[in-house]
């Protein structure tokens, strides 16, 4: 029970990577709050799953791009459980399009959800962590932030921004015993990546050294490690979890 007594918040926790992270943290003893945007049925189902496993969890409906709601959620977690030890920023969307065809709404929706949410939730959470002089922040970025993909100028901009943000915040928070790291996944088998995977077919696996797609649990295991005290001397790092996708000259 690596996280016994710890309080965690996961954004975008009702499905995909976020859901796996919620399960991983709860399994190791943390009380876990998570946000979801629209799928209330999935969120309630996850809470019930954890309760059946004798774990404590709570779901908050929240648009990740809404800064006021971020403050409300973080404060609600602290009011309910007295503190917040772990923040995993996972909420994200894709609106792929070539730049010359990309509408401003496609650009801004991705910026607001993927990048601005990091600012809002980190600012709200680290305020409490600073008082406690303890915290673990894990931000989910992507290998696209470093290597790029055609049709993903908006997405790659946010993911590269998350990595830079994480490094800077790590400098600011280190002396207060708060670590900040990013995880950069490669191709992970989630609903969000289904269209990309279907378009590429079997060719995707040929690009990956271990010859398989990643599973949400692969990212969750990395997040669990970075959220634990075993990673107390690791901060400001970008942990690539891609099965060797980016070992060569790029994607």
Return left, alpha or beta for 54; rule: phi > 0 is left, psi -120 to 50 is alpha, else beta: left
* Predicted confidence (pLDDT) per residue in 181-237, tens digit: 999 999 998 877 666 656 555 778 888 999 999 999 999 999 999 999 999 999 999
Cα–Cα distance, 22 to 140 (Å, whole number): 14
180, 173 contact by CB (below 8 A): yes
133, 119 contact by CB (below 8 A): no
Cα–Cα distance, 160 to 112 (Å, whole number): 14
* Predicted confidence (pLDDT) per residue in 65-98, tens digit: 999 999 999 999 999 999 999 999 999 999 999 9
Q: Which of 36, 121, 134, 155 is catalytic?
A: 155
Q: Catalogue all structural domains in the chain, each as residue range(s) with its CATH number.
A: 7-186+215-241 (3.40.50.720)
Return left, alpha or beta for 140; rule: phi > 0 is left, psi -120 to 50 is alpha, else beta: beta
155 is catalytic: yes
Which of the four pLDDT bands, split at 50, 70 and 90, describes residue 149? confident
166, 139 contact by CB (below 8 A): yes
Its pTM surpasses 0.85: yes
**Model confidence at 20: pLDDT above 70:** yes
228, 179 contact by CB (below 8 A): no
From the list 165, 197, 192, 161, the residue with the least C-alpha distance to 181 is 165
7 DSSP β-pair partners: 31
């Amino acid at each position: 029970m690596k996280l016994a007594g710890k309080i965690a918040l996961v954004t975008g926790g009702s499905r995909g990577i976020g859901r796996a992270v919620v399960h991983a943290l709860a399994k190791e003893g943390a009380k876990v709050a998570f946000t979801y945007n629209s799928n209330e049925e999935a969120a309630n189902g996850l809470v019930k799953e954890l309760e059946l496993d004798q774990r404590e969890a709570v779901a908050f409906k929240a648009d990740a791009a809404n800064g006021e709601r971020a403050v409300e959620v973080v404060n609600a977690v602290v009011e309910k459980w007295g503190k917040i030890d772990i923040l995993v920023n996972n909420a994200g969307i894709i609106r792929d399009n070539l730049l010359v065809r990309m509408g401003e709404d496609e650009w801004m929706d991705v910026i607001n959800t993927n990048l601005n949410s990091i600012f809002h939730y980190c600012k709200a959470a680290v305020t409490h962590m600073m008082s406690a002089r303890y915290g673990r922040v894990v931000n989910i970025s992507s290998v696209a932030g470093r290597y790029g993909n055609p049709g993903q100028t908006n997405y790659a901009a946010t993911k590269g921004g998350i990595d830079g943000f994480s490094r800077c915040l790590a400098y600011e928070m280190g002396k207060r015993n708060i670590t900040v790291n990013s995880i950069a996944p490669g191709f992970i088998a989630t609903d969000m990546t289904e269209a990309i995977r279907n378009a590429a077919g079997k060719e995707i696996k040929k690009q990956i050294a271990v010859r398989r797609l990643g599973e949400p649990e692969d990212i969750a295991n990395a997040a669990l490690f970075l959220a634990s005290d075993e990673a107390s001397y690791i901060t400001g790092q970008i942990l690539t979890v891609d099965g060797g996708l980016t070992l060569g000259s790029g994607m």
